[in-house]
Amino acid sequence: MRRRWQFIVVHNSGTRQGSARIFDYYHRHVRRMRNGLAYHFVIGNGTSTGDGQIEVGDRWRRQINGGHVHSDYLNNIALGICLVGDFNRDQPTRRQLEACEELINYLRKRCGKVDAHYAVVRPHREVNPPQWATDCPGNAFPYSWFRRFQE
Ligand SMILES: [Zn+2]
C-alpha cells in the first residue's frame, strides 16, 4: 500500500546476538504479541545470521502494523528495522549500516512520497513518547549516519 508508511524507525536489539526467528519467539511468547516479531526487518551482525544479512519479517510481507514503538498511532504508519546488537556497548558493523542504508533507500522509493517528501527516517529514541523514553538504538550508535536521509 503506497502512502501508508510515513516513517522508518531504526532500532537495536539490545542483545549481542539474535535473528528474526529468535526475536519472533521472544515477542510472541514472552511479550505476548499476537503477530510476533515486532519489526518489519532485522539486519544481522554475523552472530546468529550473516553480517549485514537482511531478514524480512512477516509484518512486511503482510503489510501490517509494527509493534516496535510505544505508540499505536506510529506503529500504524512506521516501518521498523532492527539491527542486531547492543549499541550501548558496541557499534553496528559497517555491513549492517550499508545494508540498512540500501534497505531504507529501497523502501523510501517503494513506499513513495507523502506530502512531497519520502518517509522520514529516525532513530527510535527520537520518536518514542517522552513518558516512554528509550536510548534505542544505543549511545554508541553513530547518529550522524542519519543525516544522509534528510531529503
Ligand atoms: Zn527500539
- Per-residue pLDDT tens for 17-52? 999 999 999 999 999 999 999 999 999 999 999 999
Question: Given this model, what pLDDT does residue 2 score?
Answer: 62
Other beta carbons within 10 angstroms of residue 34's beta carbon come to 7
Question: Given this model, what pLDDT does residue 36 score?
Answer: 97
Cα of 67 from ligand 1 centre, angstroms: 10
Cα of 78 from ligand 1 centre, angstroms: 12
The beta strands (E) that lie in the chain are given as 7-12, 41-45, 51-56, 78-83, 120-123
Domain ranges of the chain: 7-149
Question: Given this model, what pLDDT does residue 118 score?
Answer: 93
The pTM (predicted TM-score) of the whole model is: 0.96
Question: Given this model, what pLDDT does residue 26 score?
Answer: 96
Rounded mean pLDDT, 3-7: 91
Classify domain 7-149 at the CATH superfamily level.
Answer: Peptidoglycan recognition protein-like (3.40.80.10)
Q: Which residue has the cell 520518536?
A: 127
Residue 151 has pLDDT above 80, yes or no: no
The dihedral sign for the CA sequence 130, 136, 141, 144: negative
Residues with a beta carbon under 5 angstroms from ion ligand 1: 11, 124, 136
Which residues make beta-bridge pairs with 82?
11, 42
